[in-house]
Structure 1
Amino acid sequence: MNNEVRPDPARSNTGRLGRAQVGITVLCALVVLIDGFDTQAIALVAPDIAAEWQVPTATFGVVFGVGLLGGAIGAIIFGWAGDRFGRKPTVLFAVALLGVASSLTPLAGSVGELTFLRLVTGFGLGGALPGVIAITSEYTPQRLRTAVVSMMYCGFPLGAVLGGLITVRMVPALGWQSVFVLGGAAPLLLLPILAIWLPESARFLAVKGSTARLNKVLRRTGLDAPPEAEDTGSTEHSSVVRLFTDGRATGTLLIWTALFLSLLMSYLLINWLPLLARQAGLSSTTATFGVVLLNLGSIIGTIVIGRLTIRSRPAVVVGTAFALGAVAITGIAFSQQSGTWMLVAALFAGGLSIGAQISSLGICVNLYDTSVRATGVGWAVGIGRVGGIVGPVVGGLLIGVGISTPNLFLVTALASLLAAAAILGIARRRATTTDHPAAQPTKATER
Structure 2
Amino acid sequence: MTTTLVLPGEAVAPGDAQTPQTLDVQAFIDSRPLSLHQWRVVLLCFLIVFLDGLDTAAMGFIAPALIQDWGIDRASLGPVMSAALIGMVFGALGSGPLADRFGRKGVLVGSALLFGLFSLASAYSSGVGELVVLRFLTGLGLGAAMPNATTLLSEYTPVRHKSLLVTSMFCGFNLGMAGGGFVSAWMIPAFGWHSLLLVGGVLPLVLALALLFWLPESARYLVARGHDVERIRKVLRPIGEEAAQAKGFSIPEQRQEKSGNVFAVIFGGTFRVGTLLLWLTYFMGLVIVYLLTSWLPTLLRDSGASMERAAFIGALFQFGGVLSAVAVGWAMDRVNPHKVIGLFYLMAGLFTYAVGQSLGQTALLATLVLLAGMSVNGAQSAMPSLAARFYPTHGRATGVSWMLGIGRFGAILGAWIGATLLGLGWTFAEVLTALMVPAGIATAAILVKGLVSHADAT
Deviation digits for residues 394-430 of structure 1 (CA, Å, limit 9, x no counterpart): 2333344454543432221221222111111222124
Partner of 1:262: 285
Partner of 2:202: 185
Q: Secondary structure at the match of 2:253?
A: coil
Contact 1:95 1:188 in 2 (8 A): yes
Partner of 2:268: 245
**Aligned partners of 2:313, 2:201: CA distance in 1, in Å?**
28
Contact 1:80 1:238 in 2 (8 A): no
Partner of 1:445: none
Partner of 2:15: none
Letter in 2 for 1:380: M
Partner of 1:215: 233
- 1:423 equivalent in alignment to 2:446: yes
Contact 2:185 2:312 in 1 (8 A): no
Contact 1:282 1:337 in 2 (8 A): no
Q: Write out aligned runs for 1:46-445 (5 A).
A: 46-210=63-227, 211-222=229-240, 224=242, 229-230=252-253, 237-277=260-300, 287-430=310-453, 439-440=455-456
Quick one: structure 1 residues 18 and 234, their matched pair in 2 at CA, closer, same or farther if it must change by over 3 Å? farther
Partner of 2:13: none
**Aligned partners of 2:76, 2:419: CA distance in 1, in Å?**
13
Quick one: structure 1 residues 422 and 117, their matched pair in 2 at CA, closer, same or farther if it must change by over 3 Å? same
Larger mean Cα displacement after TM superposition, 167-176 or 326-335? 167-176
**Aligned partners of 2:302, 2:186: CA distance in 1, in Å?**
26
Larger mean Cα displacement after TM superposition, 86-95 or 210-219? 210-219
**Aligned partners of 1:197, 1:157: CA distance in 2, in Å?**
24
Count of matched residue positions in the alignment of Structure 1 and Structure 2: 435
Contact 2:148 2:397 in 1 (8 A): yes
Quick one: structure 1 residues 166 and 241, their matched pair in 2 at CA, closer, same or farther if it must change by over 3 Å? same
Quick one: structure 1 residues 324 and 107, their matched pair in 2 at CA, closer, same or farther if it must change by over 3 Å? closer
Letter in 2 for 1:127: A
Larger mean Cα displacement after TM superposition, 276-285 or 389-398? 276-285
Contact 1:83 1:237 in 2 (8 A): no
Partner of 2:53: 36
Partner of 2:16: none
Contact 1:138 1:227 in 2 (8 A): no
TM-score (ref. length: structure 2): 0.87
User: Displacement, 1:114?
Assistant: 1.7
Contact 2:75 2:419 in 1 (8 A): no
User: Displacement, 1:42?
Assistant: 2.7
Quick one: structure 1 residues 223 and 120, their matched pair in 2 at CA, closer, same or farther if it must change by over 3 Å? farther
User: Displacement, 1:118?
Assistant: 0.8
Quick one: structure 1 residues 207 and 273, their matched pair in 2 at CA, closer, same or farther if it must change by over 3 Å? same
Contact 1:309 1:317 in 2 (8 A): yes
Larger mean Cα displacement after TM superposition, 71-80 or 274-283? 274-283
**Aligned partners of 1:56, 1:360: CA distance in 2, in Å?**
35
**Aligned partners of 1:401, 1:181: CA distance in 2, in Å?**
34
Deviation digits for residues 201-260 of structure 1 (CA, Å, limit 9, x no counterpart): 110011112122211111244474689743798785443343211211111001000100
- Give the alignment's Cα RMSD to 1 decimal: 2.7
Letter in 1 for 2:349: A
Larger mean Cα displacement after TM superposition, 289-298 or 246-255? 289-298
User: Displacement, 1:44?
Assistant: 2.4
Letter in 1 for 2:146: L
Larger mean Cα displacement after TM superposition, 50-59 or 24-33? 50-59
Contact 1:207 1:231 in 2 (8 A): no
User: Displacement, 1:85?
Assistant: 0.6
**Aligned partners of 1:46, 1:333: CA distance in 2, in Å?**
21
Tell me, which stretches of 5 or more residues in structure 1 are unaligned? 432-438, 443-447
**Aligned partners of 2:155, 2:28: CA distance in 1, in Å?**
12
Larger mean Cα displacement after TM superposition, 266-275 or 373-382? 266-275
Q: Secondary structure at the match of 1:6?
A: strand
Letter in 1 for 2:176: G
Letter in 2 for 1:373: R
**Aligned partners of 1:229, 1:269: CA distance in 2, in Å?**
42
Tell me, which stretches of 5 or more residues in structure 2 are unaligned? 1-6, 11-19, 244-248
TM-score (ref. length: structure 1): 0.89
**Aligned partners of 2:439, 2:427: CA distance in 1, in Å?**
19
Quick one: structure 1 residues 400 and 170, their matched pair in 2 at CA, closer, same or farther if it must change by over 3 Å? closer
**Aligned partners of 2:225, 2:334: CA distance in 1, in Å?**
33
Quick one: structure 1 residues 11 and 321, their matched pair in 2 at CA, closer, same or farther if it must change by over 3 Å? farther
Deviation digits for residues 79-109 of structure 1 (CA, Å, limit 9, x no counterpart): 1100011111111111111122122223333
Larger mean Cα displacement after TM superposition, 278-287 or 40-49? 278-287
Percent of residue pairs bearing the same amino acid type: 34
Quick one: structure 1 residues 406 and 47, their matched pair in 2 at CA, closer, same or farther if it must change by over 3 Å? closer
User: Displacement, 1:72?
Assistant: 1.0
**Aligned partners of 1:375, 1:169: CA distance in 2, in Å?**
39
Letter in 1 for 2:83: V
Q: Secondary structure at the match of 1:26?
A: helix
Contact 2:61 2:297 in 1 (8 A): no
- 1:18 equivalent in alignment to 2:41: no
Quick one: structure 1 residues 4 and 398, their matched pair in 2 at CA, closer, same or farther if it must change by over 3 Å? farther
Larger mean Cα displacement after TM superposition, 226-235 or 4-13? 226-235
Letter in 2 for 1:369: P
User: Displacement, 1:178?
Assistant: 3.1
Contact 1:84 1:238 in 2 (8 A): no
Letter in 2 for 1:45: I
Contact 1:87 1:135 in 2 (8 A): yes
